[in-house]
Amino acid sequence: MKWQGRRGSRNIEDRRGRTMTGGGSIGLVGLLIILGLGYFFGIDVTPLLQGGVGGGQVVETELTEADRRAGEFVSVTLADTEEVWDDIFRRQVGETYNPPTLVLYKGVTQSPCGGASGATGPFYCPGDKKVYLDTGFFTTLERRMGAGGDFAAAYVVAHEVAHHVQDELGILGQANRVRAQSSEADSNAISVRIELQADCYSGVWARAVQSKFGTLERGDIAEAMNAAKQIGDDTLQRNSGRIPQPHTFTHGTSEQRQRWFATGYETGDIRACDTFGARQL
């Protein structure tokens, strides 16, 4: 992906210079266990981290060169989503697109949707219409999950922005209202449809990026497809030593995530991403 030297977004809220620290009473082994629980089971472990490190004292930290590079990359990727979705909304929806703000942080931060930490992974919060991202997740994606490459990272950003697109279209709010009144199993099933649609929208975005900017390089789409595979519910559960349990899935299988991303990329049409009307996912 050709991103160096390109326009970045102004809709970035960089909190990385402020890190929450404390007494360090958890210890390395305990910290790894807590992070592992949060990562593999989708648990928000921020309260545990805050409590264990002495109450969440905020200190100033210096950004590394890797931090700065990651921030620039995210800014350019976010700018691409802004231009692409502005164009798609005008052509396919007939409305104006209002882009989200992306919050960059290191370690722990807060959001209206709850605490954010490296263990929670990237997420979109409809409460303030912001995407939250610890760029350290890119390292996790590559080293622990086998999904390296800049376009794999771009896919992660595009997927979270796609949740904002769902929010703008009224889809996310409606789906979450139904989820709140549903059983756990039905709520999980609705969550899967939400996530797969975001994957499809990410594919629509990827096609538009190539058409509009010509910045994709050989292997970029393969990187995104591999990332979709590595973060499928069945793959994550197997890699954690568990037998996949479909009724607990909240994001979809590796095959489903890849297929819906490919659907968006091949069609370039958000109407092809109606996972809620699909008989088979």
Q: What is the pLDDT of residues 69-93, one digit of tens each?
A: 889 999 999 999 999 999 999 999 9
In-domain check, residue 137: yes
Angle 187-115-152 from CA coordinates, rounded to 5°: 75
Pick the closest to residue 74 from 161, 146, 178 (CA basis): 161
In-domain check, residue 21: no
The Cα–Cα gap between 260 and 203 comes to 8
Domain count, the chain: 1
* Structure-token match 């219409």, residue found: 129
175 with 194: CB under 8 angstroms?
A: yes
Check residue 21 and give its pLDDT. 52
In-domain check, residue 44: no
Structure tokens at 116: 């954010």
In-domain check, residue 25: no
Predicted TM-score (pTM) of the model is 0.85
Q: Is the pLDDT of residue 202 over 80?
A: yes
In-domain check, residue 228: yes
In-domain check, residue 24: no
Q: What is the pLDDT of residues 98-111, one digit of tens each?
A: 999 999 998 889 99
The Cα–Cα gap between 100 and 124 comes to 9
Q: What is the pLDDT of residues 6-62, one digit of tens each?
A: 899 999 999 987 655 543 333 444 444 444 545 444 444 444 444 444 445 555 677
Label residue 234 by pLDDT band (50, 70, 90). very high
| Terminal-residue alpha carbon distance, the chain | 29
Q: Calculate what percentage of the chain has a pLDDT beyond 90.
A: 66
In-domain check, residue 281: no
* 67 against 197, higher pLDDT: 197
Read off the DSSP letter of residue 91.
I
Check residue 143 and give its pLDDT. 84
Check residue 264 and give its pLDDT. 97
In-domain check, residue 247: yes
Check residue 139 and give its pLDDT. 83
Q: Which domain holds residue 108?
A: 62-273
Please, what is the average pLDDT of the chain? 86
The Cα–Cα gap between 251 and 271 comes to 20
Q: Is the pLDDT of residue 121 over 90?
A: no
Q: Is the pLDDT of residue 95 over 80?
A: yes
Check residue 207 and give its pLDDT. 96
Q: Is the pLDDT of residue 116 over 70?
A: yes
